[in-house]
Structure 1
């Protein structure tokens, strides 16, 4: 189905869109209930019937994309020559309700180091709708058997097996990725930190480890020519300060919660929805229910 491919295309390209579905039909209408189309800022796939009905759906969908709206909406259009029209007369005589469901760009997280903590963190994050990148230089940490605990993942999991220079992966990550550095090797961690702060594409740079480790890293990063402002982009320790414990599962829960807080902050900082600008249709909103590792080694 074209609309399914369109959703996959938008997700792969990390572009927002809106899935428009004919929710219900009363009387005569161009398409039956269940018909779908996908709207992006610069494209439309499939159709819900054309004419004024479809034009209204596309127009409102693009407003939602521009305003960062994340709540589904219902748009009602009367197909009558007596109804006010914005995009031409459509006089089938029926009434159609369209469900507009935002397709937001989901969060992206990269875990560098899939050891005991990294795998536990991956297991938690995999239950969420996001892009999950797993990076390790040790092939035995990324075997199919070991990662089978992620087989039922909701997240899209991307495995990066890089025997050398894992910092090269930093430049391949989607813009806005939250990077968490917790490898088995402090030299590897340092190289990753250096690469991470030399790009503006990452949303979060988190480093696991002790205060002594961070003191050494700050000195090394400064010696390598990084400014104090750039070094300050790294957050360490990571996790919720009130959640203590050194067990891998406890650290992973703490770091996952810390990341979820950042996802929430990103959503809340999105542009506020604009006022209703529709004059040719009634619109109804559908509302849906809305650090531990201080001294641990990765």
Structure 2
């Protein structure tokens, strides 16, 4: 998820010591992923490593150190916290937590980097923030979304090790700045389409809203949102990148069918969902079969969309249900992709 970087910048801008606390490694079930981080100052906290008693105990530990002789505070250490009865948490795994005391120079450097990142759009591949652990090392760096370093970190962290890793022979602290954005094409800017876009706005999706009606697209905007007016929305399907998700929510069943057929024929999209009832699905399945699509292609269609058990028909209710479904699909695909990559890399 995208960090609320302004809170981090506020902590770094205030006087006094700041401890950078990060998830350096995990084992078993844990509340956050490797690379998650937070900043702890005397009276301020930004970010989270999972909340609960783990975060409470970590915060107490840091503030107790700040209240003692600061010359005795370790500048860098990693401490293991079992997440069992001792912490009153039932996750059952364990977390290695990194503690890195930021001096005034590193505070200023990190503040400048985060301020720069906060002005940029979230990446579609995920980015990492890196700092050499050794004293006197170079300042903070960003592993760009498309860089080999970012790919290496994503792969390495996927094996549940990371946090402090060797990069070019230098022990380097690596923090997760943001998760990858999943490309999503939403066809239809009616009541439900607009509600879906609003529900997904704070979530890790790069959204393209497509409609033939220019007036329905007027006044819609937001971060990670791209507006596309197209007289032939079904033709836009050919330009959608592989792995992207598609939602079909138009005002016209004939247009729904054309978009649906074009998306299912592709065979390389991550999710194809269409609003409608079981009756609409049955009718579309017959028509798709009549147009030559096989069972495998038709089986890629999710209709109705949304989480089972949520039956409300209000646009905001549908949007919340669809957002939860897309997040579930996204998590499953990311896990599968990582498992596949780890297997290809020989990681067990």
TM-score (norm 2): 0.57
The CA deviation at 1:98 is 2.6
Summarize the Cα distance change of 1:126–1:62 in structure 2 as closer, same or farther, 3 Å threshold.
closer
User: Does residue 1:226 correspond to 2:301, yes or no?
Assistant: no
Unpaired runs of at least 5, structure 1: 44-57, 78-85, 91-95, 275-298
What SS does the corresponding residue of 1:201 show, helix, strand or coil?
coil
- SS of the residue corresponding to residue 198 of structure 1 reads helix
Separation (CA, whole Å) in 1 of partners of 2:215 and 2:283: 29
Corresponding position of 2:200: 125
2:163 equivalent to 1:74 = yes
Does the 8 A contact of 1:117 with 1:252 survive in 2? yes
- Aligned pair 1:204/2:271, yes or no? yes
Q: Would you say the 8 A contact 1:39–1:62 is kept in 2?
A: no
Pairing partner for 1:184 from 220, 238, 251: 251
State the partner residue of 1:244.
Answer: 311
Does the CA-based 8 Å contact 1:117-1:249 persist in structure 2?
A: yes
Name the structure 2 match of 1:285: none
Aligned residues: 229
Counterparts of 1:262 and 1:224, CA distance in 2: 28
For 1:200 and 1:131, the matched residues in 2 are separated by 21
- 5+ residue gaps, structure 2, are 1-111, 343-348
Instruction: Give the 3 Å change call, closer, same or farther, for CA 211–40 of structure 1 in structure 2.
Output: closer
Q: More relative contact order in 1 or in 2 (CA 8 Å, sep 6+)?
A: 1
- Equivalent-residue separation in structure 2 for 1:246 and 1:116 (angstroms): 11
Task: Give the 3-state SS of the residue equivalent to 1:238 in structure 2.
Answer: coil
Residue of structure 2 equivalent to 1:157 = 225
Cα gap change, 1:210 to 1:25, in 2 (>3 Å):
same
Kindly report which structure 2 residues correspond to 1:274-293, keeping only aligned pairs within 5 A, or say none: none
Counterpart of 2:130 (choices 21, 24, 46) is: 21
Return the structure number with greater helix share.
Answer: 2
1:155-208 C-alpha deviation (Å, 9 max, x unpaired): x11111002x21111111122111111100000001011101110231111111
Verify the 8 A CA contact 1:72 1:102 in the aligned structure 2.
no
Indicate the residue corresponding to 1:271 in structure 2: 338
The answer as to whether partners of 1:73 and 1:101 remain within 8 angstroms in 2 is: no
Q: CA deviation at 1:21?
A: 2.3
- Cα deviations across residues 84-129 of structure 1 (Å, max 9, x unaligned)? xx967x9xxxxx6532437653212111111001100100001112
Q: Deviations over 1:193-248 (max 9, x none)?
A: 11011102311111111222222211211121111221121111111121111111
Q: How many angstroms apart in 1 are the aligned matches of 2:165 and 2:299?
A: 50
TM-score (norm 1): 0.65
